[in-house]
Amino acid sequence: MTKNKAALLCGILFGLGLAISQMNNPDKVLAFLDVTGNWDASLAFVMGGALITLATLQHFILKRHQPICDTEFHLPKTNNPIDKRLILGAILFGIGWGLVGFCPGAVLAAFGDGKIEPFLFTLALGAGMMLFNKFHETK
Amino acid sequence: MENFTPYSAFLGGSLIGLSAALLMYFNGRIAGISGMIAGAFDFKNSEHHWRLFFLGGLILAAVIFNLFAPHVPATYSRSTLLLIISGVLVGYGTRLGNGCTSGHAVCGMARLSIRSIVATVTFMAVAILTVFITRHLLGILQ
């Protein structure tokens, strides 16, 4: 298994997971966020399934000295400080997510709908990331 | 809650968790999609290849699923302007906050990262508030 083949396999599983759970349907995501309306709790079960599976498996995986295709695990420290950047970033993401119901993974998994909206959103998402790079390069 | 689909949600979520676990097992990487999108187009970095493969696999699997499996189509009631505003906010916000639903709410929370827990609670609360304001208070977005 090479890094690229492993990533392809993982991407396929991730995309299937998003499609099966319908998280690539923004109506479904907005219905989860609409707690005072006709609430649909499905997204919480997606997170639950993902967290239980990942937490269990990584317990064994991280006992290894290194991953199969690399010399080290690239993991962010879990005790990094909470700063303004993290909070502001989460707020901006939250507003954008609540307006349309797309997050970065879900929108890519919606390409199969054959509609223009996921592509438009992805272009804007890329523009937002480039804007960030521009703004933070000059600092 | 007539649209509640707990079984398919749990199954799909488990596949997402399995994907993240395998990516850690093979490549030693976090399955954070916003970081992967940013890194996939950083052509100076030799690590951009596997990210393109992951994103390609994600798109391919979802496209094939949508072609062959019965599913409820999305209504897409948002205007072009709103899609663009939202996309820019999500792109900029996830870079500023170092992650999105996959990186913080799944991978980070599974590792009990305090930063990820704080980020997840924040973006969930803000998104819920955004829907409440636009759907119920203002009644402009359904």
Instruction: Establish if B117 belongs to a structural domain.
Output: yes
Domain count, chain A: 1
Question: Do residues B36 and B51 make contact, with C-beta atoms less than 8 angstroms apart?
Answer: yes
Instruction: Establish if B15 belongs to a structural domain.
Output: no
Q: Report pLDDT digits (tens) over B24-81.
A: 999 999 999 999 999 999 888 889 999 999 999 999 999 999 999 988 999 999 999 9
* Rounded distance between C-alpha atoms, residue A133 and residue A125, angstroms: 13
pLDDT at B1: 56
**Once rounded to an integer, what is the mean pLDDT over residues B80-108?**
97
Instruction: Establish if B18 belongs to a structural domain.
Output: no
- A31·B105 Cβ contact <8 A: no
Q: Which domain holds residue B111?
A: 77-142
| Set of chain A residues whose Cβ sits within 8 Å of the Cβ of B95 | 89, 128-129, 132-133
Interface A:B, Cβ pairs < 8 A: 482
* Rounded distance between C-alpha atoms, residue A57 and residue B21, angstroms: 6
Q: Which domain holds residue A31?
A: 3-137
Task: Name the nearest CA neighbour of B29 among A48, A80, A6, A129.
Answer: A6
Q: Report pLDDT digits (tens) over A66-100.
A: 999 999 999 998 888 999 999 999 999 999 999 99
DSSP state letter for A79: T
Residues recorded for chain B: 142
| Set of chain A residues whose Cβ sits within 8 Å of the Cβ of B109 | 51
pLDDT at A136: 84
Lowest mean pLDDT among A108-122, A125-139, B8-22: A125-139
- B57·A67 Cβ contact <8 A: no
- B57·A39 Cβ contact <8 A: no
Is residue A139's pLDDT more than 70? Answer: no
Q: SS3 string of B57-97?
A: HHHHHHHHHHHHCCCCCCCCCCCHHHHHHHHHHHHHHHHHC
Domain count, chain B: 1
Instruction: Establish if B23 belongs to a structural domain.
Output: no
Helices and strands of chain B, counted as H and E runs: 6, 0
